Structure 1
Amino acid sequence: MNNNLGLQFSTQRLIIRPLEEKDYESWLSGFVNRHASQYKYDKGQIDMSDATEPWFAAMIQKHQQAIEADDLYIFAVFDKAGHHLGMLNIKNLSRDQFQWAEIGYFIHNQYWRQGYAYEALTELIKQTKETLKFHRIEAHINLDNQPSIQLIEKVGFEFECLRKGFIFEHGAWTDHYVFYLNTHDEPIE
């Protein structure tokens, strides 16, 4: 299956697009070669024993269905040599008069501190405006996740508010910071 739905973008060093079945080995390698967890929000090494090729193919179909439904856009990040570096996503929170989305991202920890997250997010933000036509993008971040806060501010997001008891994680309702970026100054047709 080779159906990236016309959503392939590139930067100087990166290719950003939906996963395809041919990506299985590279995708798996990205996860298998992760280092041990380096801080609280780094999952570190992950058990990938259930991630078979048929499982991967089914996951890709679910990703494509979400894209076709304009619900969730999931992108893989590869370097130009084909190494899977991480994932990005844009979740549609509301279309209509809002054109509002939430952004998510991770880079495998063996590729940290090389500028890949910044480069990938900068391109995704550009494409979120130009291709996906979202006006407002939010990032929801744990209060003590300084690396993510620094990254999202570096790509141009601004702090908006603290949402109390916003998400249930680690067995409790957790507060999150909300950062936002408005991509358009003019209305979308």
Structure 2
Amino acid sequence: MVITENTFDIVSETERLVIRPLKKSDYKDWLTEFENRAPSQHRHDKGKMDMSQCTQVWFNNLIDKHQDLAITDIAHMFAVFRKEDGVHLGMVDFSTLSRGDFQWGRIGYSIHNQYWRKGYAKEAVKEAINIAFNNLKFHRIEAHINLDNTASFNLAKGVGMEYECTRKGFIFEFGEWTDNLVYFKNSFE
């Protein structure tokens, strides 16, 4: 599958949000919101992070890496900004699992914890799925979610994704092979 639209030209807006790839000029806003994170709320929330290595040069290299991943259709990264003031709220990303006869991708999402419980994640993920189908030309999107990540599987259900199965020993994290819930949405639904 060849994506005819350059991922870095994609900009999508909702009532309250702008969803687009990061630009090198976003550095200060991006860094500020990471530095303003609250302490971790649970094991799936990184909370405050050491951002000392995240210089402008480091960030520029990150943007270049995002572009390379998009050009090769390995992954497509989108930042979520609040429309009214441009605050960086978080990220939504897509990894290509298979093209060809499948057109299959995985979605990941993260909203800075200081902006939780305001509906931003649901609004962002719902619009990002539209980007996945309309711009990135995926047919199927999956979310792979830890069994105890209630907020994440509630979000997946809230944007119209359906539970499909539990994959046993699916991903190595937290020092062990963990099970994941699989939620999906197909483009014709």
Q: TM-score, normalised to structure 2's length?
A: 0.94
State the Cα distance separating 1:183 from its structure 2 match. Answer: 1.1
Q: In the alignment, is the contact (CA less than 8 A) between 1:91 and 1:103 conserved in 2?
A: yes
CA distances 1:30-64 after superposition (whole Å, capped 9, x unpaired): 10000011112111100000000000000000001
CA distances 1:49-101 after superposition (whole Å, capped 9, x unpaired): 00000000000000011111111000010111111100000111011110000
State the Cα distance separating 1:184 from its structure 2 match. Answer: 2.3
Pair 1:63 & 2:66 matched: yes
Pair 1:126 & 2:142 matched: no
Moved runs in structure 1, 4+ residues, more than 4 A?
A: none
Residue matched to 1:153: 157
| Secondary structure class of the residue paired with 1:27 | helix
Unmatched tracts of structure 2, length 5 or more: 1-5
Change (3 A) 1:160 1:134: same
**Identical pairs, percent:** 54
| Secondary structure class of the residue paired with 1:5 | helix
Q: 2:29 aligns with which of 9, 26, 33?
A: 26
Residue matched to 2:100: 96
Q: 2:77 aligns with which of 74, 77, 92?
A: 74
Task: Return the alpha-carbon distance in structure 2 between the equivalents of residues 132 and 53 of structure 1.
Answer: 29
Pair 1:136 & 2:140 matched: yes
Residue matched to 1:12: 15
Residue matched to 1:46: 49
Aligned residues between the structures: 183
Q: What's the C-alpha RMSD, in Å, of the aligned pairs? A: 1.1
Q: TM-score, normalised to structure 1's length?
A: 0.94
State the Cα distance separating 1:112 from its structure 2 match. Answer: 0.4
State the Cα distance separating 1:5 from its structure 2 match. Answer: 2.2
